[in-house]
Amino acid sequence: MIEVLNVTKGFGGKMILQDVSAVMEGGKTNLIIGTSGSGKTVLMKCMVGLMNVDKGQVKYGGEDFTAMSEREKKAIREKIGMLFQGTALFDSMTVEQNVFFPLDMFTNLTAKEKRMRVESCLDRVNLMEAYKKYPAEISGGMKKRVGIARAIVLNPKYLFCDEPNSGLDPQTSMVIDKLIKEITSEYQITTVINTHDMNSVMEIGDHILYLYNGLKQWEGTNRDIIFSRDEKLNHFIFASEFLQDAKEMRQIEIMQNRQAQEPPLAD
Amino acid sequence: MFFYHFGKYLLMLKGMWSRPESVKMYWKEFMHQCVEIGLGSLGIVMIISVFLGGVTTVQTAYQLVSPWIPKTTISMVVRDTLILELAPTMVCIVLAGVIGSKIASELGNMRVSEQIDALEIMGINTKAYLILPKILAALLVIPCLVIIAGFLGITGGLLAGELAGILGKQQFLQGLVKNFNSFNVFFALIKSYTFAFIISSISAYFGYYVQGGALEIGRASTTSVVVSCILILFADYGLAAILLQ
C-alpha cells in the first residue's frame, strides 16, 4: 500500500500539486487521470522519489519515503518497478539483456537461475520470439512489453506505469492493459498508472484519482465514474458525444443488472 | 552562473563515490568504456600523430637554415616538441572532440529518453555507474594514447625526414637520444592525466544534466567540447608555468 499525504509541489512559484492525498491499495490498479498539465507525472515522480515534495509525505507500507536517507530510499526503490512513457529501454542492449540487467545488478543468482527468471518474464509478456533483438528493431507495443518484463523481473511490490498506452493502437493498448491488470492481481502488486486512455479507465480502473489543476478533484472506482455528477470529471472523461452515449448505455445496463439482482418486493 | 555550474559540477563529482551495487557490473562498464574510448579513438590519434611528427620535421628543417647547426638538432626539436606539447595537448584537444562529444551525447540521450531515471528508480547511483567508469577509463586510456602518439609522431618525423631528404635515419636517431631529459616524459604524462580528467568529467557534466530534446543534446555536446578545449589550454599553460620553471 502506498499513502500519499497532503503532497504539495511547485516550480518557480507555480504550484503544480496542492495538498493531494490518496491511498493506493495493494493488488489493485490505481489510476491517476487528468488533463495534460494537471500534475499527474509530477505526482508519480514525487511518489517514486525522482522529485522531492515541497510538503507532505509519501509512505510505502507505512514507512515515510520522503523522510528517508538516500540509502534507505535505495532499499525501497529495489521494490519498485517502473514502466516509462517512452519505455526507457537501454538501447545498447538486446531485449534479453535489458531484462537481465536488474538481476545482474541486484541479485546473486546463478547464471542458470537468472536465465530461467528472464525467460519466465519474457514468456509472461509473450516476447520469447524477440529476445535477441534490439529495442530499435521492435514495435512500440513490444517495447512496452519489454518494459513490463524488466519492471517485474525482480518481483517488485510496487509497479508504476507512466502512460503505458501512449502511442499504441487501441488493440495493443488493450493487450497492455490486460497484461498490467493480470500481473497486478497475480503478484499482488500495488500498481499505479498515469493515463489519458479512457478505455483503460473503464476497463482496469479499480481505484481512480482525478487531478484538476494540481488538486484532487475526484476519487472512486470505474463503476462510480458512470454515475458521477462531478462536472469537471464528466467533461474530461466523456468529452465526445460517442462517449456520452456509451456512458448512458452503461448506466442503463448497470441499473438493469441491479434491478434483476434485487429480490422482488412483497405485495 | 559560473559558480552555479562549478558547484553543481563538484556535487556531481562528490556524488560518484558510493558503494557499487554490483562490483561485477561496474567492472564490466569500466572495461566497456576503456574499449570505447581507447579503440574508438586510436585510428584518429595514429593519423594525427604521424602527420604532426612529419610536419614538425619539415618545418623545423625549413627554419634551421644555418650550416653551423647540426642536422641532429632537427630530431631533438621534433622529439621535445612532440613530447612536451604536441602529443599531449594536440591529441587531447582532438580527443575532447572525439570522446567528449561522445560522452556528452550518450549521457544526454540517456537523460532525455529517461534511461537515467529508469536506473535511478532501480536504486542505482547513476553518477557512480555512468560517470565514474568513464572518468576512470579516460584516466587509464588517454595517457596510453598520448604515449602512442609520441612514438608515432617521432616515427612520422623520421619518415618525413628521410622521404624529403632532410636528414637520414641514422642522423635522426642520433639526435633523438642527444640531451634527452626524462622529466619531459613525466611532464607529458602529468598533462595527459589532467587533460583526461577535464575531457571526461566536463563532457559527463554537460551530458548528465541535459534538459530538453535532441537540440539540447547537440548543444550540450558542442558546449562540452568548447569548454573542455578552453580548460585544456588553461591547464596547459598552468602546468607549464608551474612545472617547467
**Nearest Cα residue in chain A from B20:** A105
Put simply, the chain B residues between 107 and 166 with a CB less than 8 A from any chain A CB are: 113-115, 117-118, 120-124
Mutate which of B107, B119, B122, B129 to disrupt the A interface (most A C-beta within 10 Å)?
A: B122
Give the tens place of pLDDT for each residue, A197-232: 888 888 888 899 999 888 888 888 888 887 777 888
List the one residue out of B168, B158, B187 whose CA is nearest residue B50.
B158
Query: A129 in a domain, yes or no?
Result: no
Looking at per-residue pLDDT, the higher value among A36 and B145 belongs to B145
A129 touches B at CB < 8 Å: no
Query: A180 in a domain, yes or no?
Result: yes
Query: B146 in a domain, yes or no?
Result: yes
Distance CA A88, CA A196 (A): 19
ipTM above 0.85, yes or no: no
Residue A267 has pLDDT above 60, yes or no: no
List the one residue out of B51, B49, B16 whose CA is nearest residue B30.
B16
Q: How many domains does chain B have?
A: 1
Distance CA A170, CA A175 (A): 9
B214 touches A at CB < 8 Å: no
Report the CATH number at residue A45. 3.40.50.300
Query: A70 in a domain, yes or no?
Result: yes
For residue B28, CA distances in Å to B20, B21, B200, B212 come to: 12, 13, 18, 30
Grid look-up 534479453 returns A96
pLDDT, position A260: 79
A42 touches B at CB < 8 Å: no
Distance CA B161, CA A251 (A): 93
pLDDT above 70 coverage of chain A, percent: 95
Among A115-119, A185-189, B106-110, the range scoring the smallest mean pLDDT is A185-189
B23 touches A at CB < 8 Å: no
Give the tens place of pLDDT for each residue, A223-234: 888 777 788 888
Mutate which of A71, A74, A76 to disrupt the B interface (most B C-beta within 10 Å)?
A: A74
pLDDT, position A95: 92
Distance CA B102, CA B96 (A): 9
Identify the band that residue A266 occupies on the pLDDT scale cut at 50, 70 and 90. Answer: low
pLDDT, position B103: 95
Distance CA A187, CA A27 (A): 8
Residue A263 burial (10 A CB sphere; 0-12, 13-18, 19+):
exposed
Contact B198, B231 (CB under 8 A): yes
Residues in chain A with CB shorter than 8 Å from the CB of B118 are 82, 84, 88, 90
Distance CA B206, CA B103 (A): 9
Q: What sign does the CA torsion over A121, A125, A128, A134 have?
A: negative
pLDDT, position B152: 95
Residue ranges making up the domain that contains A13:
2-79+156-261
Residue ranges making up the domain that contains B208:
23-243
pLDDT, position A196: 81
pLDDT, position A224: 84
Q: pTM here?
A: 0.86
Query: A142 in a domain, yes or no?
Result: no
Mean pLDDT, chain B cut into blocks of 10 residues (245 residues total): 91 91 92 93 94 94 85 92 93 94 95 92 91 96 95 94 89 90 93 96 96 92 96 95 87
> What is the strand order of the sheet A55-60 is part of?
A14-24, A2-11, A55-60, A63-64
pLDDT above 90 coverage of chain A, percent: 31
pLDDT, position B235: 96
Q: Ramachandran region of residue A211, left (φ > 0), alpha (ψ -120 to 50) or beta? A: beta
Identify the band that residue A265 occupies on the pLDDT scale cut at 50, 70 and 90. Answer: low
Averaged pLDDT score across all residues of chain A: 86
Give the tens place of pLDDT for each residue, A126-173: 888 888 899 999 988 889 889 989 988 988 999 999 888 887 888 888
Q: Which residues pair with A33 in a beta bridge?
A: A195, A210
Looking at per-residue pLDDT, the higher value among B68 and A31 belongs to A31
Q: What is the dihedral of CA B11, B16, B19, B25, to 10 degrees?
A: 160
Nearest CA to CA, how far is A107 from chain B (Å)? Answer: 9
